[in-house]
Structure 1
Amino acid sequence: MSAALQTINLEKRFGGLVATNKVSLVLEHGARHALIGPNGAGKTTFVNLLTGVLPTDGGRILLDGEDVTARSQIQRARLGLGRTFQINQLFAAMTPVESIGLAVSERMGGGGDIWRRLGSRRDILSEIAELVERFRLTDVMDQPTRALPYGKQRLLEIALALAGNPRVLLLDEPAAGVPEAERGELLETLAELPRDVSILLIEHDMDLVFSFAERITVLVNGTHFAEGSVAEIMADARVQEVYLGSDEHA
């Protein structure tokens, strides 16, 4: 059976700078896989290549065995590739219920028609309620997003990504900016994400990486530097030297 997501010798250059240097990665079905590396390692560029934000300069991207290298961002999303962002992309004036309702309706082809149809679509209402509860948003579901604690905003963004019914979900630094007091709720929610969604986590918070991931890939200077289980990466002296053991990149 093909991998959920695979890159083969993926390349990206910006002039003379090689940002992604023939990176090959396999994300298995149901994976909890983390991508780490020091600042400037090329993690964001890699994610932007996966999602179609940037065109590749070489190599291939396969989604469940299908070559999507030339597909647009929208086409990849429709094929089941979802993502979150380092800086959240939310509608500040909308409530979590409204935002999730819009996302679910968009997936079903209804768009803004959600508000007229809500009363007659129990399936939509049920899915909204399930996502609100799963992402611990019940207590803030009717508040404007701008008023939510930042940890709740992060949870809402992941809920919106999941509302798109992705097969593969790229989580781009979900813990970035979340206060320490709110991280426990975020970690618990991530641990409970459905196993039928294959997840690639891009993260600097090593507590989150080690508690969430089952496999870790390390990028350094745009190159696939190391890969293995959590225990193998923690014990890898080369990784300790360039990343884990450095205060600069903690």
Structure 2
Amino acid sequence: MNPALRTIGLGKSFGGFKANADVSLSVKQGARHALIGPNGAGKTTFINLLTGVLPPSAGTIWLNGEDVTYASQQGRVRRGMARTYQINQLFAELTPIETVSLAIAERQGTGARFWSRVGADSAVIDEAEALLTRMQLGAMMTRRTSTLPYGKQRLLEIALAMACKPKLLLLDEPAAGVPEDERHDVLDSVAALPEDVTVLLIEHDMELVFSFADRISVLVQGALFAEGTVDEISSDPRVKAVYLGEDAHV
């Protein structure tokens, strides 16, 4: 079986600066894979390469056995890749049910007619309601997005990505900025994602990483530094020194 995601020698240079260098990463189908690293390690550049925001300077990207190195962002979504962002990209004036319904309609190719058909396509509305309920947003689906607590906005962004029915979901720091009393909602929802969706998690919150991942890759100075199971990475003295801190206990 082909990996859900594979990069071979992936690199990105900005002039003489190498943001990523020779990154070869393989993520198995159905995996819960985390990518961690200190600030400035090149994680955001790597995600932007995977999603087509940036063109690579070297290397290739394979999605479910298909070369998508130069595919458009939309082309990658059509092939089963979806992502969230460090800073949410939500429509503040829409409600969650409107936001997710629009994403579902776009996936089905009916997005251009969506606004003239609000409420008319019961299958779209039913799918949106079920997804929002699964993401702990059922009680808030008709509230304007700008009024939602920040943790709920992060959950809505995951729901929006899941509305694309991805085969590979890239979660870019889903717990970033979430207040402590809302973090467990995010952790629980991430843990409950469908098993047939492969997830690559980019995160600084080590509680989330260690509770979620079955494999971890460590990026340092744009290159892969270490890779292994949670136990292997959490006990690796090199990782503790460069990322967790020499006196870290995990």
TM-score range, shorter chain: over 0.9
Report 1:35-54 matches (<5 A): 35-54=35-54
Q: Which residue of 2 aligns with 1:98?
A: 98
Task: Give 1:115 shift.
Answer: 4.4
Q: Are 2:55 and 1:55 aligned?
A: yes
Provide the C-alpha distance between the structure 2 equivalents of 1:228 and 1:246, rounded to a whole number of angstroms: 19
Q: Which residue of 2 aligns with 1:65?
A: 65
Task: Give 1:114 shift.
Answer: 2.6
Supply the AA of the counterpart residue of 1:193.
L
Provide the C-alpha distance between the structure 1 equivalents of 2:132 and 2:49, rounded to a whole number of angstroms: 31
* Residue 63 to residue 225, structure 1, CA distance change in 2 (3 Å): same
Q: Is there any run of 5+ residues in structure 2 with no aligned partner, and where? A: none
Q: Which residue of 1 aligns with 2:241?
A: 241
Provide the C-alpha distance between the structure 1 equivalents of 2:41 and 2:246, rounded to a whole number of angstroms: 14
Deviates more, 1:138-147 or 1:218-227: 138-147
Contact 1:88 1:154 survives alignment (8 Å): yes
Moved over 4 A (4+): none
Q: Is there any run of 5+ residues in structure 1 with no aligned partner, and where? A: none
Task: Give 1:113 shift.
Answer: 2.2
Contact 1:118 1:124 survives alignment (8 Å): no
Provide the C-alpha distance between the structure 1 equivalents of 2:184 and 2:246, rounded to a whole number of angstroms: 25
The alignment of Structure 1 onto Structure 2 pairs a total of residues equal to 249
Report 1:156-171 matches (<5 A): 156-171=156-171
Identity %: 60
Q: Are 2:24 and 1:24 aligned?
A: yes
Q: Which residue of 1 aligns with 2:201?
A: 201
TM-score (normalizing by structure 1): 0.96
Supply the AA of the counterpart residue of 1:152.
K
Q: Which residue of 1 aligns with 2:4?
A: 4
Does the residue aligned with 1:217 lie in a helix, a strand or coil?
Answer: strand
The CA RMSD over aligned residues, in Å, is 1.5
Provide the C-alpha distance between the structure 2 equivalents of 1:216 and 1:140, rounded to a whole number of angstroms: 34
* Residue 110 to residue 239, structure 1, CA distance change in 2 (3 Å): same
Provide the C-alpha distance between the structure 1 equivalents of 2:130 and 2:246, rounded to a whole number of angstroms: 41
* Residue 247 to residue 115, structure 1, CA distance change in 2 (3 Å): farther
Q: Are 2:190 and 1:190 aligned?
A: yes
Does the residue aligned with 1:29 lie in a helix, a strand or coil?
Answer: coil
Write the deviation string for residues 146-202 of structure 1: whole angstroms up to 9, x where unpaired: 000000000000000000111101000000000000001110010000011100000
Task: Give 1:121 shift.
Answer: 3.1
Contact 2:237 2:246 survives alignment (8 Å): no
Task: Give 1:139 shift.
Answer: 1.6
Q: Which residue of 2 aligns with 1:81?
A: 81
Q: Which residue of 2 aligns with 1:125?
A: 125
Write the deviation string for residues 32-71 of structure 1: whole angstroms up to 9, x where unpaired: 0000000000000000000000000111000000000011
* Residue 14 to residue 239, structure 1, CA distance change in 2 (3 Å): same
Provide the C-alpha distance between the structure 1 equivalents of 2:133 and 2:77, rounded to a whole number of angstroms: 24
Task: Give 1:117 shift.
Answer: 3.8
Q: Are 2:109 and 1:109 aligned?
A: yes
Q: Which residue of 1 aligns with 2:33?
A: 33
Provide the C-alpha distance between the structure 2 equivalents of 1:110 and 1:247, rounded to a whole number of angstroms: 54
* Residue 35 to residue 234, structure 1, CA distance change in 2 (3 Å): same
Q: Are 2:135 and 1:142 aligned?
A: no
Contact 1:13 1:19 survives alignment (8 Å): yes
Provide the C-alpha distance between the structure 2 equivalents of 1:216 and 1:44, rounded to a whole number of angstroms: 16
Task: Give 1:140 shift.
Answer: 1.2
Supply the AA of the counterpart residue of 1:37.
G
